Structure 1
């Protein structure tokens, strides 16, 4: 079975499972990247406020091509930013027997779904949810539009509970839904030989953190959607000297965050850290805080749990209902601090379990997708 995968650009969360899928017997994979310009130079990320170039290989182990993108304003930030007149022709010429489209709100991706409908099986992967869905007439119009868009899909690959409910709400049937979870390279975050802990302990000492301190960490973009100011809300309520608060990243709110916390020596800032360093970053802390105002999933939660750290998150975060269990974290109402104070007070120093990562893994993702593909072939 020849599976064409259509996606905008290489990212660190997809490349590993593309490689694993390409290694499966009976499946030929070719990835058609539609944001051709993304490979020519590192991209400026407005969320971080800087140019980002990932430090792990993203194109190894699978066949790929960059399809010519003729957009006047290329990029994945708007519908007309992905415009590939030859995409459908190239997928057909390769001899694709099924196509997996990742993300629809781009001119070429939607065109691809429509073109191959009723020709070969069309698979779709996206992580949208009904969380923060607006009410009123806009909701009605959007629901109608999305039902039409998803009518071009034979199978939707849902990443978790909230994503599944979203697909069901937009006309897809249970039999069309296949669980292909959001996952990370768990093994890369596991500390099999203990080196990550040693590196984190040394870093903690450099930051003036000792074993008596309890550390809460935010790592990500300093922007309004990610809401890093929430960890400062916590710091202003949890005034005990034993607590430390680390914010790792950069972005448009950086100056505001630093000014707000300049008189609290317990609050520390670390610049953006690339993927190779993240297993150490999570181990700086006892708790990882993800407090987004809107988050379809939140792969930082996967990474923190794989690093053996408890997670504090809220009901706006798509992964929370799937990933957070009694023994690994807490889900609070957006903006709530009191429950965080109680939770940290009761759970500090207690062991956690990583059992949920057996389900939310690349192994599960590739196994379930492989089963579907082989079913299509038969």
Structure 2
């Protein structure tokens, strides 16, 4: 545990459980020295072996954290999967200067909000949802009202992308109380992985057992219906019918895997690789081997796989329903957008990129430049600035 310093603002962050995408942000905030950080976890899911070993990244190193007793159960429907009554006494006793709440659908989110208000603690509300959110009760008026109430009671709101900003504005958030916290990944980690792969004497494709003579389209996603990976399989089949030497890499697992495998067979898609689940280093290998990356989902607020693909210098073809699409995909510069579910438009975007090596190279360079600005360091600065602003009454 890291020692506390009393000469800095004391910040508590309420988090569901340890996650490989959030831990680098917490480390970055702690390392900045600008705030005295404690992360309050509502559940232990995510930090028990073999999870951390499989993800091959540290989840709890580099920042102070505390696990609250959870009376709910992971997997129960919201708001009952996180029931942490101890958060009330903890926040009242500790009296942090600022509390960052990262959701509004769990009972503990509201217990923490009420405790913070009673203790005189400033509250920052961070979200990632986008218009058109899917899921049970997502469009229910009560859920809309709950979000609006959390926004009204918070002292500041942090939005993660353009789509998320629109979601907040639909629920009454004022621009003056909002600021961007880029929904970033660990750029330093992925840049180091890319450099190591490129330094190998074998080509990136050969390192993962692929053919150097094939152009590969990749996607990294849970194999669930809303990811629309079946559209990608159909698009690649069309490209192969047109004579393009293209292959397919699907990294991930889930209930749609059997359907996708059957579809690959039915459409006679050649050079199709359904890799299955992969940890972050394994994902890096496939991103380095790919020639273009696809996100085909009909709803996805901020797919981290898109940010990771940019860090490997990949052109992207992305569904317009993606929350971060407006931030990370500049049409014609580092990729193309297409209407979610439109297989013909997806295939057309892929064809434009795959048939033009100069365009692929230029788009890849632009992806690297965009990714460099959308960093974990920038996200940490946003949190620190928000803390300073709420404490200074701005």
TM-score, normalised to structure 2's length? 0.85
TM-score, normalised to structure 1's length? 0.89
Q: Does residue 373 of structure 1 match 2:387?
A: yes
Listed as ranges, the matches of 1:93-132 within 5 Å are: 93-117=93-117, 119-131=120-132
Match of residue 307, structure 2, among 282, 285, 302: 302
2:352 — aligned with what? 346
- C-alpha offsets along residues 308-346 of structure 1, whole Å, 9 cap, x if unaligned? 111111111111111101221111011223333333333
Mapped partners of 1:63, 1:142: distance in 2: 32
8 Å CA contact 2:218, 2:287 repeated in 1? yes
Listed as ranges, the matches of 1:196-275 within 5 Å are: 196-197=197-198, 201=203, 203-204=205-206, 207-210=209-212, 212-239=213-240, 240-262=243-265, 263-275=268-280
1:48 — aligned with what? none
C-alpha spacing 1:315/1:198, structure 2 compared with 1 (3 Å): same
1:59 — aligned with what? 60
C-alpha spacing 1:221/1:74, structure 2 compared with 1 (3 Å): closer
In the TM superposition, residue 253 of structure 1 has moved relative to its aligned partner by: 1.3
* Larger proportion of helix: 2
2:369 — aligned with what? 355
1:333 — aligned with what? 339
Mapped partners of 1:346, 1:255: distance in 2: 30
- C-alpha offsets along residues 225-263 of structure 1, whole Å, 9 cap, x if unaligned? 222112111122112251111111211111111122123
In the TM superposition, residue 282 of structure 1 has moved relative to its aligned partner by: 0.7
Aligned with 2:289: secondary structure? coil
In the TM superposition, residue 184 of structure 1 has moved relative to its aligned partner by: 0.6
Moved more, 341-350 or 254-263: 341-350
The runs of 5 or more residues in structure 2 that have no matched partner are 1-8
In the TM superposition, residue 142 of structure 1 has moved relative to its aligned partner by: 4.3
8 Å CA contact 1:82, 1:107 repeated in 2? yes
8 Å CA contact 2:92, 2:116 repeated in 1? no
In the TM superposition, residue 113 of structure 1 has moved relative to its aligned partner by: 1.4
Mapped partners of 2:204, 2:28: distance in 1: 35
Mapped partners of 2:325, 2:316: distance in 1: 9
C-alpha spacing 1:374/1:259, structure 2 compared with 1 (3 Å): same
The runs of 5 or more residues in structure 1 that have no matched partner are 44-50
Moved more, 328-337 or 138-147: 138-147
